[in-house]
Amino acid sequence: VCSMGNSTSRLYSALAKTLSGSAVSQHQDCLEQPDSARLDPIDPKDLLEECQMVLQKRPPRFQRDFVDLKKNAASNHRPIRVMQWNILAQALGEGKDNFVQCPMEALKWEERKCLILEEILAYKPDILCLQEVDHYFDTFEPLLSRLGYQCTFFPKPWSPCLDVEKNNGPDGCALFFLKDRFELINSANIRLTAMKLKTNQVAIAQTLKCNETGRLFCIAVTHLKARTGWERFRSAQGCDLLQNLKSITQGAKIPLIICGDFNAEPTEEVYREFSNSSLNLNSAYKLLSPDGQSEPPYTTWKIRPSGECRHTLDYIWYSQHALNVNSALGLLTEEQIGPNRLPSFNYPSDHLSLVCDFSFNQDPDRLL
């Protein structure tokens, strides 16, 4: 890691603490820091500069542009920016996922962590939904809490990360929201069921109040079962999640945003369940298509020993009766991704981040 210089030594000391932690035992060190030390605010511009210094030998970030999707919908409040991202668990990236075209050097946590933070800091989400988080306690919670986020983590009961030597604990879903924009009203950690059996997949659902408008809404993050052959299982998990969310939102009286890696193409049954739900959900990224009816051609693109995998698996669902999508972040092009696909020296995950700006419908009493 390069020298940071005296002017940034105080900030760098906070970042550096997260560079060395790789063992589960390190989690306790992070948890036992005094609150005043952990919660001492960090300027996001300074942290972004620190990350860029660590990454100075890597290629620059890809340029992605927001697409304006407003349909003459005037709004008298700031939009709510929501970011969805499967960041790739470090233990899986190094130990299980076999990205045959990605050099191991590109997966070093000391630098890959800064690539992830750089992506988050560049888009400045008000709400951040992550999957495959296995460095929550030693990286994301201590840093993002100091950036003003309230942080919640729910690990998988039997995380595959634990099978990897020198792992950093289980991976799971994490949800972060800016405390100066929202107030937490209710939070639920949901272990998803399928065929009435508890599964290894989880979700977090939180009801928030927007401080600016006083409006309530629910934000949920999930990660469904992976792999071909598990379509019915994912369908059952999706049904269980929808049932939970119907209860939490009082049958869609409270607007809803669901972020997740569903591990399901739009042709799968679980996708149709969300599309046809009584919660009146729409998939935000469909709005980027010319007719507003088609999902992007891919949200993940990787090369494994079995071959090239190019799929649309990641979604941001929203209550279309109560919320408007003002804009969405365009995806990386094939040319930007490059022939070796993802992850790479340029991009830290095999999944692309999705980012949308939402506003409340101006007729709050209009329901389904």
Residue 15 vs residues 2, 112, 189, 219: alpha-carbon distances, Å:
13, 13, 29, 29
Half-sphere exposure of 168 (CA within 13 A, CB side): 26
Tokens (6 digits) for 340: 């070796």
Burial of residue 148 (number of CB atoms within 10 Å: 0-12, 13-18, 19+): middle
Q: Beta strands 182-194 and 197-210: pairing type?
A: antiparallel
Q: Which amino acid is at 43?
A: D
Confidence of residue 28 (pLDDT cuts 50, 70, 90): very low
* Separation CA 254–CA 364 (nearest Å): 10
Confidence of residue 16 (pLDDT cuts 50, 70, 90): low
Residue 198 above 60 pLDDT? yes
pLDDT of residue 15: 67
pLDDT of residue 130: 98
pLDDT of residue 38: 55
Q: CB 43: neighbour CB atoms within 10 A?
A: 11
pLDDT of residue 18: 59
Class of domain 78-165+175-360: alpha beta
Confidence of residue 143 (pLDDT cuts 50, 70, 90): very high
pLDDT of residue 97: 78
Residue 39 above 60 pLDDT? yes
Confidence of residue 54 (pLDDT cuts 50, 70, 90): very high
Give the 3-state DSSP-derived string for the chain, with helices as H, strands as E and coil as C: CCCCCHHHHHHHHHHHHHHHCCCCCHHHHHHCCCHHHHCCCCCHHHHHHHHHHHCCCCCCCCCCCEEECCCCCCCCCCCEEEEEEECCCHHHHHHCCCCCCCCHHHHCHHHHHHHHHHHHHHHCCCEEEEEEECCHHHHHHHHHHHCCEEEEEEECCCCHHHHCCCCCCCCEEEEEEECCCEEEEEEEEEEEEECCEEEEEEEEEEEEEECCCCCEEEEEEEECCCCCCCHHHHHHHHHHHHHHHHHHCCCCCCCEEEEEECCCCCCCHHHHHHHCCCCCEEEHHHHHCCCCCCCCCCCEEEEECCEEEEECCEEEEEECCCEEEEEEECCCCHHHHCCCCCCCCCCCCCECCEEEEEEECCCCCCCC
Residue 64 above 50 pLDDT? yes
Confidence of residue 98 (pLDDT cuts 50, 70, 90): confident
pLDDT of residue 73: 61
Indicate the domain borders of the chain: 78-165+175-360
Confidence of residue 74 (pLDDT cuts 50, 70, 90): low
Q: Is the CB of residue 296 less than 8 Å from the CB of residue 342?
A: no
Confidence of residue 80 (pLDDT cuts 50, 70, 90): very high
Quote the mean pLDDT of the chain.
90
Residue 72 above 70 pLDDT? no
* Separation CA 52–CA 152 (nearest Å): 27
* Separation CA 190–CA 101 (nearest Å): 36
* Separation CA 87–CA 176 (nearest Å): 14
Residue 6 above 70 pLDDT? no
pLDDT of residue 194: 96
pLDDT of residue 19: 52
Residue 233 above 90 pLDDT? yes
* Separation CA 22–CA 6 (nearest Å): 27
Residue 25 above 70 pLDDT? no
Burial of residue 229 (number of CB atoms within 10 Å: 0-12, 13-18, 19+): exposed
Q: What is the pTM of this model?
A: 0.91
* Separation CA 294–CA 266 (nearest Å): 9
pLDDT of residue 365: 52
pLDDT of residue 8: 40
pLDDT, tens only, 324-333: 999 999 999 9
Burial of residue 79 (number of CB atoms within 10 Å: 0-12, 13-18, 19+): middle
pLDDT of residue 9: 41
pLDDT, tens only, 264-298: 999 999 999 999 999 999 999 999 999 999 999 99
Query: What is the rounded average pLDDT of the residues 175-199?
Result: 97
Query: What is the rounded average pLDDT of the residues 112-122?
Result: 97
